[in-house]
Amino acid sequence: MFWFHQDLKGLENQIQELEYDPKLVFYGSSTFTLWSELTTIFKKHKPINLGFGGSTLAACTWFFDRVFKNIKDIDAIIIYAGDNDLGDGRHPEEVLLFLENLLLKIRTKYGNIKCTYISIKPSIARENLLESIHYTNSKIKELVFKDDNFYYVNIYDALLDENGNPDIKYFKEDGLHFNTKGNQILAKALKLHPEIFPEKNAREDLKKQYLTKKNCFLHEKRVS
């Protein structure tokens, strides 16, 4: 896996130059690396984007100790990886095993922090792997019942067209990576789950949602 070392060095420099202690880590493949607005969208959670292009869950697990060496304390981590493993010919059960090993490393270093896995996306370029992607997602989702602080965010269904195929409007010309609309789907899916974010901000979001619903109810009551 020597071909990742340049990207990993870039991540190490990013961590060293960061002007605050991150509380939320986005870790995974180019779905994060190419999402330039990610840290701006989730700025209040003190995020850091530790995606590295072309990475697999196997690579995320293998390089975890190196990447996170100088990150001492975080509250939550959000993971996107796995489709590159399948694209390389890995079996879904192998992908699950890599994730279980990654979770073990996270738990060993950071304890019972919030860990979230974003489902593998159904891309046009890997339409031949849709059955494997769907199966892998279903097996990973089962981890929710084994780990009280593990969360699963489904983006798979939102990326399909009316015929159940990957919708071209969410992807760049390569048919693999998200365009702006695809990133918007991803952002929306994450925001629907305030429980996956650092606790303080999650409570604030839930309070805002409650107050919004309350105000709507009071307004409707006055109108009626």
Q: Which residues contact 115 (CB under 8 A, 6 or more apart)?
A: 76, 77, 79, 103, 106, 147, 149, 150, 151
pLDDT at 3: 66
pLDDT at 4: 87
Whether 213 maps to a domain, the answer reads no
pTM of the shown model: 0.87
pLDDT at 92: 97
Domain count, the chain: 1
pLDDT at 132: 97
pLDDT at 53: 84
Q: Which residues contact 105 (CB under 8 A, 6 or more apart)?
A: 61, 64, 65
What CA–CA distance (Å, rounded) separates 183 from 173? 15
Whether 129 maps to a domain, the answer reads yes
Smallest Cα–Cα separation from 79: which of 191, 160, 196, 175?
196
What CA–CA distance (Å, rounded) separates 86 from 91? 7
Whether 217 maps to a domain, the answer reads no
pLDDT at 189: 98
Task: Provide the residue range defining the domain that includes 91.
Answer: 2-199
Whether 142 maps to a domain, the answer reads yes
Q: 158 with 189: CB under 8 angstroms?
A: yes
**What are the C-alpha distances in Å from 110 to residues 68, 87, 215?**
10, 30, 39
CATH of the domain at 177: 3.40.50.1110
Q: 64 with 31: CB under 8 angstroms?
A: no
**What are the C-alpha distances in Å from 19 to residues 39, 48, 65, 66, 73?**
14, 11, 22, 20, 15
pLDDT by 10-residue block (mean), the chain, 224 residues: 84 95 97 96 97 94 96 96 96 97 97 98 96 97 93 98 96 97 98 93 52 56 56
pLDDT at 11: 96
